[in-house]
Amino acid sequence: MKPPAGYNRSMAFRVRPGSSTDGPTLMHIEHSCRTAATFLPESLRDPGQNRPRSWRQWILCHPPYDRHPTARAVFVVYEHNDILGFVAAVHDSLFGGYRADIASLYVLPKYRRRGLGEMLLVRAARWLQEDGISRVTADCYARDRCRGFCDRMGGVVISSTQDDAAVVDMAAVVTYGFANFKELAARSL
């Protein structure tokens, strides 16, 4: 069956604030994305060794996430009733000059490259902009395709756990700094 004339697939995707009832679904999405990350060593993809974050507790700021009760938010992208990805942002960063961190950004593998990550990042940027925050950090693995996404969104590498460029550590973490979140928040989707 053909979609009606003028139908835009991306119009079917929506973003809303996440809630504690979304916790199990967010754990499933994080797990699905980790197991699909074939560039990671098996030990980092094995659910027996690396459990997804308890998102319900993170959202509600329950232990162990209540040590630093800073403002935090989760936004989910969905189609119909199906959550396809999420972003988690927190008013905190380990890097000087940056006032917030994108704690997680996951989109289910089969829904990638459809603009969902950008929708989520723009929504997080708008939430942070409400508090006057325009400088943000985000982490990803050195071999993750997410690095290209961070580059396209205006991120700049500010730190890396990898010391030797000749030997690539599959689990090395790269930190991006976004100084342009004000411009990102102004994007229309």
- Residue 32 lies inside a defined structural domain of this protein: yes
- Residue 117 lies inside a defined structural domain of this protein: yes
- Residue 3 lies inside a defined structural domain of this protein: no
- Residue 153 lies inside a defined structural domain of this protein: yes
Compute the distance between CA of residue 16 and CA of residue 77 in angstroms, rounded to an integer: 7
The two beta strands, 13-17 and 100-107, are unpaired
pLDDT at 126: 93
- Residue 93 lies inside a defined structural domain of this protein: yes
- Residue 2 lies inside a defined structural domain of this protein: no
pLDDT at 159: 80
- The domain tally of the chain equals 1
The tens digit of pLDDT for each residue in 59-98 reads 666 545 555 667 788 999 999 889 999 999 888 766 777 8
Domain that holds residue 78: 14-185
Please check the confidence at residue 54 and state whether its pLDDT lies above 70.
Answer: no
Query: Helix H segments across 38-168?
Result: 42-45, 55-60, 116-129, 146-152
- Residue 6 lies inside a defined structural domain of this protein: no
| Number of other residues whose CB lies within 10 A of the CB of residue 166 | 4
- Residue 77 lies inside a defined structural domain of this protein: yes
The tens digit of pLDDT for each residue in 155-172 reads 888 887 765 555 556 667
Residue 44: which pLDDT band, with cuts at 50, 70 and 90?
A: low
Q: What is the CATH number of the domain that holds 65?
A: 3.40.630.30
| Stretch 166-183: mean pLDDT | 76
* 35 vs 84 pLDDT, higher one: 84
Sheet containing 173-178, strands listed edge to edge, beginning at the edge strand earlier in sequence: 13-17, 72-79, 82-90, 100-107, 136-141, 173-178, 156-160
CB 54 within 8 A of CB 23: yes
